[in-house]
């Protein structure tokens, strides 16, 4: 049984959470990835290991963190290790199964920009930067990306390569000596996308309920490819919706200091 009416953002978060498995070790980005990973932990994947960039391992926050430095992460973690150990031993040691990232700009091959919009020396917008995302993108066994669709965020050519996806497509990662899978899943507020096995261009494999192909194309800056058999994403269940909304309500209350 599906839940009540839901928003596109709720569908995106829940669809992303379903992609995670109980045995995953997940390097979590702040924002939409954080919500998705914690919904997975609170529903079908109670034993998932969530790791944040600040060095918190096996964290189980009761509310969504404002940043990687949020005390909620340390308070609920199994252990907290120094950041250099987090990157060298855990991430670059191949122990992370899923890196979960967001993006300000994304291209069809899963390359991410979170650095600048416009020219690097004279940007229209200066973005937060890479943080640990470039390392997560290259060293996690595979990468999931969440993004709300718009022509501003899904672009023909990104303004800056912050985190390398599939580069120019095909075997570009392998040619650079990167032996991890790279982006294997893109979940937007309209659809689920997977890279073509050969070209590595993201292709729509599932449309969320009520979304048409035209909707997807109108909010994307490149010509969208659709799989031969496009499915419909199952709507959120009552449990998934209630869990997400309770988490968001707790988070809002905590961050307002209530």
Residue 168 is classified by DSSP as T
Q: Quick one: which of 145, 135, 195, 133 has its CA closest to 170?
A: 195
* 142 sits in which H/E element: strand 142-147
Other beta carbons less than 10 A from residue 93's beta carbon: 11
Strand 79-80 and strand 191-195: the pairing is: unpaired
The verdict on whether 53 is a catalytic residue reads yes
By C-alpha distance, which of 142, 230, 235, 157 is closest to 193?
230
The single residue listed with the structure tokens 């020219």 is 119
Burial profile 163-178: b = 16 or more Cβ within 10 angstroms, e = fewer: bbbbbebeebbeeeeb
Name the active-site residue from 10, 23, 53, 198.
Answer: 53
List the alpha helices (DSSP H) in the chain.
8-18, 32-42, 71-76, 83-85, 133-139, 172-175, 213-218, 238-255
- Buried/exposed 102-130: b ≥16 CB within 10 Å, e otherwise: bbbbbbbbbbbbbbbbeeeeeeeeebeeb
Structure tokens that stand for 253 in this block: 């209350």
**Residue 160, number of CB atoms within 10 A of its CB:** 20
d(CA 136, CA 110): 13
The residues annotated with a catalytic role in the active site are 53
């Amino acid at each position: 049984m599906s839940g009540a009416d839901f928003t596109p953002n709720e569908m995106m978060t829940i669809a992303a959470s379903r992609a995670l498995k109980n045995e995953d070790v997940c390097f979590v980005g702040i924002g939409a990835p954080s919500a998705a990973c914690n919904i997975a932990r609170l529903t079908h994947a109670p034993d998932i290991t969530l790791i944040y960039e600040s060095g918190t391992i096996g964290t189980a926050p009761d509310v969504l963190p404002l940043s990687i430095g949020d005390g909620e992460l340390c308070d609920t973690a199994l252990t907290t290790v120094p950041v250099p150990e987090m990157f060298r031993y855990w991430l670059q040691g191949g122990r992370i199964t899923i890196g979960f990232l967001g993006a300000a700009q994304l291209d069809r091959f899963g390359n991410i920009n979170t650095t600048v919009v416009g020219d690097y020396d004279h940007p229209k917008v200066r973005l937060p930067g890479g943080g640990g995302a470039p390392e997560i993108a290259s060293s996690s066994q595979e990468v999931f990306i969440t993004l709300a669709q718009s022509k501003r965020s899904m672009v023909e050519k990104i303004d800056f390569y912050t985190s390398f996806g599939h580069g120019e497509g095909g075997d570009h990662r392998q040619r650079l000596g990167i032996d991890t899978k790279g982006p294997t899943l893109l979940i937007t507020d309209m659809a689920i996308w997977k890279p073509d096995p050969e070209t590595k261009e993201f292709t729509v494999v599932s449309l969320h309920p009520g979304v048409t192909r035209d909707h997807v194309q109108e909010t994307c800056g490149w010509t969208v490819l659709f799989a031969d058999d496009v499915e419909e994403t199952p709507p959120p269940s009552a449990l998934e919706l209630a869990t997400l909304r309770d988490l968001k309500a707790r988070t809002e209350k905590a961050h307002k200091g209530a």
